[in-house]
Amino acid sequence: MIKITRRAILKTIGSISVAGLIPISTKASDSDTKPGNDIRTIKTDILVVGGGTAGTIAAIQAARAGCSTILVENGSQLGGTTTTGGVSFPGLFHAWGKQVIGGIGWELVTEAVRLNDDKLPDFTIPYGKDHPKHQVRINPYLYTLLAEEKCLEAGVKLRFYETITEATFRDNNWEVETIGKGTRTKIVCNQLIDCTGNAALTSLAGYGVLREEITQPGSLMFKLGGYDYPSLDLKMIRKRYNEEVMKGRLVKEEFRNNIEGLLSSAGDNISHILGADSTTSTSHTITNVNGRTSLLNTLRFLRELPGCERIHIISMQPETGVRETYRIDGVSQITKDDYVSGKRFEDAVSYSFYPIDLHDKEGIVPKQLTEGILPTIPLRALIPKNSKNFIVAGRCISSDRLANSALRVQASCMGMGQVAGATAALACKQNTSPLYVSINQIKSLIADNGGIVP
């Protein structure tokens, strides 16, 4: 079934004359197609910055609630770490045999599963210590397509290849300046949603952010092929690997000192890129180059080994996935003790469920939650201190480091995205700030849109 026409899409994005479906290049006005220095001003109710795991959901929810919504994304597609980063196994939507996160994220995930003839895990079977068994493997390409379709259907105006340069609160509205390929734009809006993962908009707006001295390593996701794992001489490979590490040609932390694991998994999220940081173009460039250099060096080493001569890269993501950068300094902060005790905050608006999952240079040992524990997310952890008309969603939620290592996962980020979209929409309609919107109203709007609320 074709759900949306090309004409409708172009009209939604704002790039077509209403006279008819004519190639854009011959009919659109010069200001749409020619690079220029003039700042164009546009108005909207809500601006979402960052079209990743949380931002896509926030934008769809805000638009479905009836607010005009713009989504600015500096990449070329939606989904962020879930798609561009290649971490296409979102979790966890279920806890102790019961679904605890639903809504727009779940709608997208299940549609991607259906349209790819995949199967959902059986959530009634406890996963024991192996929580990835309850993560949902999705086709990331399809997820990107579906996310974009749902945004356009909801009326979200997408702006790819664009980033933010200034944010000023004036006359009860935000004025956000953006720069893109050949565009400079001032977006005047009533509410801002920061879904950049790095709290980039929060920093730009002048609100407080927090960061650890050492952050978790990132991972470049890739897939290798061209070898037969069971027939490899792993003892010989370990010896040769240790020699290369000793000579300084390979860095042992980059594959968690686990060359056997790299070969048995053929890639996925085994790489560990120390110091990975996506906060600025400079740090993100270094992070990407480090991820790719590490893979290339390892590939060259492997191809010298008996049994691996024909090893090759089947796929590789365009970015190194980043686990941790900045978090907001929120009105409330979720601590590890709050998380592992399943504290029920009075302003709880969503659930989160995952082990404490902090990667370091030695690797990772997830710490499972005690049976029956179900952590909640308070609205105030999504709101920077002293902020106005501003809310965040995603991994930059206000939390201490250990709580964040669990809160940052995709199902939780999707849940937060829906909270942020719903809250911003209500705040816009009530001409107030997210902090002053009634928790019951937020919960009921989320529930009306298929979400699950505490």
Closest CA to 412 of 371, 357, 372: 357
Closest CA to 45 of 156, 149, 151, 150: 156
Q: What is the DSSP letter of 268?
A: E
**What is d(CA 54, CA 435) in angstroms, rounded to the nearest whole number?**
19
Does residue 290 bind ligand FAD (CB under 6 A)?
Answer: no
Q: Please, what is the minimum distance in Å from the beta carbon of residue 91 to ligand FAD? A: 4
Query: From the list 197, 421, 434, 451, which residue makes contact with ligand FAD (rule: CB under 6 A)?
Result: 197
Q: Please, what is the minimum distance in Å from the beta carbon of residue 33 to ligand FAD? A: 22
Does residue 80 bind ligand FAD (CB under 6 A)?
Answer: yes
**Of residues 320-349, those binding ligand FAD (CB under 6 A):** 321-323
**Of residues 406-425, those binding ligand FAD (CB under 6 A):** 408-411, 413
Query: From the list 12, 219, 376, 398, which residue makes contact with ligand FAD (rule: CB under 6 A)?
Result: 219
Does residue 298 bind ligand FAD (CB under 6 A)?
Answer: no
Pairing verdict, β 157-159 and 98-99: unpaired
DSSP-derived 3-state class of residue 77: coil
**Of residues 12-51, those binding ligand FAD (CB under 6 A):** 49-51
Q: How many residues does the chain have?
A: 454
Does residue 377 bind ligand FAD (CB under 6 A)?
Answer: no
Query: From the list 140, 218, 415, 434, which residue makes contact with ligand FAD (rule: CB under 6 A)?
Result: 218
Give, in degrees to the nearest 5, the angle at Cα 244 between 240 and 246.
115
Q: Please, what is the minimum distance in Å from the beta carbon of residue 306 to ligand FAD? A: 31
Nearer to ligand FAD, 236 or 365 (CB): 365
**What is d(CA 49, CA 394) in angstroms, rounded to the nearest whole number?**
12
The CA-atom distances, in angstroms, between 78 and each of 57, 113, 144 are 10, 17, 6
**Of residues 258-277, those binding ligand FAD (CB under 6 A):** 269
Instruction: Give yes or no for a contact between 302 and 288, defined as CB atoms under 8 angstroms apart.
Output: no
Q: How far is CA 222 from the centre of its chain?
A: 18
Stretch that binds ligand FAD, among 3-11, 76-84, 328-336, 378-386 (CB under 6 A): 76-84
Nearer to ligand FAD, 410 or 418 (CB): 410
Report residue 5: phi and psi, to 5°. Answer: -90, 160
Residue ranges that bind ligand FAD, judged by CB under 6 A: 49-55, 72-75, 80-82, 85, 87, 89-91, 135, 163-164, 195-198, 200, 218-219, 269, 321-323, 394-395, 408-411, 413
